[in-house]
Amino acid sequence: MAFEGLTQKLNAVFSKLKSRGKLNEADINVAMREVKLALLEADVNFKVAKEFIKSVSAKCVGEDVLKSLTPGQQVIKIVKEEMISLLGTNATKIEIAPNGPTVIMVFGLQGAGKTTLCGKIAMMYGKQGKKIMLVACDVYRPAAAEQLEILSRQTDSGYYFEDKSKPLVIAKLAIAKAKKELYDMIIIDTAGRLHIDDEMMIELSELEAEVSPNNKLLVVDAMTGQDAVNIAKHFDESLDITGVVLTKMDGDSRGGAALSIRSVTGKPIIYAGIGEKLEDLEVFHPDRIASRILGMGDMLTLIEKAEQSFETDKAKDLEKKLKTNRFDLEDFLEQIKQMKNMGSMSDILSMIPGASKISEKDIDEKQMVKTQAIIQSMTKKERANPQILNSSRRKRIAKGSGTDVVDVNRLINQFNSMKKMMKQFSGGKKGKLGHMPDMPF
C-alpha cells in the first residue's frame, strides 16, 4: 500500500496529540521530533525534513493552536497544509502546443519504466480523442523498439522507427511525418543507462535541441527513495526538466521520493504510475496525496476511478435490480470484475477515510480470486437462484473451484447478508441498519 509505513507512524503521533485536552510547547516539540524521525525513516531528504519541521513548528506554537479547544486537530491541519505545499500545491498538467503536434520527450535510467510510461500517456490522451504517435529513439536496448511498437497497437497509436538510424535522424523524420499526417501528440522514447554518464547526457541534449519538446519528462522509480531525488537533481541540472513521473508508486510504502523531489529540484511531479496496466497512470494531485499520507483518504480519486471502471449502463441496470431485489450472484461477479479494474483492495482502502488504518497484511487479495472462482463454478441457474444450492451442488462447486464446501457456504451466507443490507440502503426498509456484514472477498 502506497505510503503505508509513513501513514502509520504519523497516525500514531497524531493519536497522542488528539488524546490531550491541552497542548504546550514541550508537547509540540516532542511530537515534531517524532514526525521528523518518521519522515527520515521514510527516506525523505534530510534538508527537506528539517525545513518542513521548522515551518510546522513555528505555526504550531502560536496562540491559535495552544489555546484551541481541539489543539490536536489544529496541528494535523497545519501538517497537512505544509505537506501540500511541499508536494507542489496544485496538480501540474503537461503543456499542449498551440500549433502543430505537442512533443513529449521521455527519459530516465534503465528499469524506471520509460517505455511503458510512453504507452500509458498514449492511452490517457488517446481516450481524450488525441491522435498519438510513439517514436522509438532507444536504439541500444534490445527489443526496445519492438516493445514500443506493441504498445502502439495496444493504445491504437501511430508508431515510428528507422532501423540502423541514429536517434536524431529518427526524431527529425518522425516529427516531419507527424506534422504531415496531423498528429496531435508525439511521444519520444529515449535510451536509458544503468547510471548517469556524460555520453547519455550529451545525446539527450542534442536530441532536445533537435526536437524542441514542449515537455521533458523524467521517469524515476519511486521505490529508490533518495536515489530518485539525486537522479532528478542531476537530470534537471543538465536538461532543465519540465516535470517528473514517479513510477511504482503502488509499491512505495515510504514516500521519500514523492515528498522530496519538488523541494530539491523545484520541478513538479506530473504523473504517478500506480500499476503495470496501461490504465494505471494518475495525475499527481498534491492535496489528494497529502490526504492519503495522513490517513484521511482520497475520495475524489476513488470516485474518478469508479467512473472510469464502471460502465454507466451497467450501473443503472444494477440500481434497478437493487431496488427490485433482483441482485444475484451473476451481478455480483460483474461487480468483482469491475472493482478489480480499479486496482488492488489495498489501494482502494487507502482512498477511504479511516480505512488506511487497516494494514496490508490484513488484506487478503486472494480471497477475491477465490470468490470469483466459486461463482464461476456455478451454472447460470445457480447464480440467479442461490437458494437451490443444496449439499450436492455445493460439493460440486467446491471441487470445481478448488475450494472447500465451507468456503462456498461462507460466500452464500455473506452474499445473503449483503443483499439484505443493499435492500435496506436502496429504500426497501426504513430504520436503523444492523452491523455491516463481512464482504465475500
Same domain, 283 and 393: no
Find the CATH number of the domain harbouring 381. 1.10.260.30
Instruction: Kindly state whether residues 113 and 244 are assigned to the same domain.
Output: yes
In DSSP notation, 84-152 reads HHHHTSS--PPPPPSSS-EEEEEEE-TTS-HHHHHHHHHHHHHTTT--EEEEEE--SSTTHHHHHHHHH
Q: How many domains does the chain have?
A: 3
289 and 308 housed in the same domain: no
Contacts of 311 (CB under 8 A, 6+ apart): 338
Residue 167 forms part of a structural domain? yes
Region 38-58: mean pLDDT is: 92
pLDDT reported for residue 7: 86
178 touches 125 (CB < 8 A) = no
Q: Are residues 130 and 159 in the same domain?
A: yes
When pLDDT is cut at 50, 70 and 90, the band that residue 419 belongs to is: confident
Does 274 lie in the same domain as 364? no
Given 294, 325, 348, the domain boundary residue is 294
Compute CA distances 350 → 50, 254, 299, 409, whole Å: 27, 14, 10, 30
Domain annotation covers residue 216: yes
More confident residue, 110 or 135: 135
- 55 is in which domain, residue-wise? 4-87
Residue 430 located in a structural domain: no
**Averaged pLDDT, 419-434:** 53
**Same-domain status, 273 and 329:** no
Pairing of β 269-273 and β 281-283: antiparallel
Residue-level pLDDT at 199: 83
Domain-located, residue 396 = yes
Instruction: Choose the final residue of a domain: 60, 87, 114.
Output: 87
Is there a single domain that holds both residue 165 and residue 51?
no
Q: What is the domain-level CATH number for residue 173?
A: 3.40.50.300
Contacts of 65 (CB under 8 A, 6+ apart): 23, 28, 59, 71, 74, 75, 78
The pLDDT of residue 440 is above 70: no
Same-domain pairing of 274 and 315: no
- The Cα 228–Cα 231 span in angstroms is 5
Per mean pLDDT, which range of 101-105, 260-264, 345-349 is the poorest? 345-349
Same-domain pairing of 15 and 157: no
Residue 435 falls within a domain, yes or no? no
In the predicted model, what is the mean pLDDT of the chain? 84
Instruction: Mark whether 276 and 307 lie in a shared domain.
Output: no
Shared-domain flag, residues 415 and 325: yes
Instruction: Show which of 259, 294, 329 is a domain's final residue.
Output: 294
Q: What is the pLDDT of residue 329?
A: 86
Do 368 and 280 lie in a common domain?
no
d(CA 373, CA 408): 10
Q: To the nearest whole percent, how much of the chain has pLDDT over 70? A: 81
3-class SS at 269?
strand
- Split at pLDDT 50, 70, 90, the class of 100 is confident
Residue 45 belongs to domain with CATH number:
1.20.120.140
The predicted model gives 27-37 an average pLDDT of 92
20 part of a folded domain: yes
* Residue 407 included in any domain: yes
- pLDDT grade for 434, boundaries at 50, 70 and 90: very low
Whether 438 maps to a domain, the answer reads: no
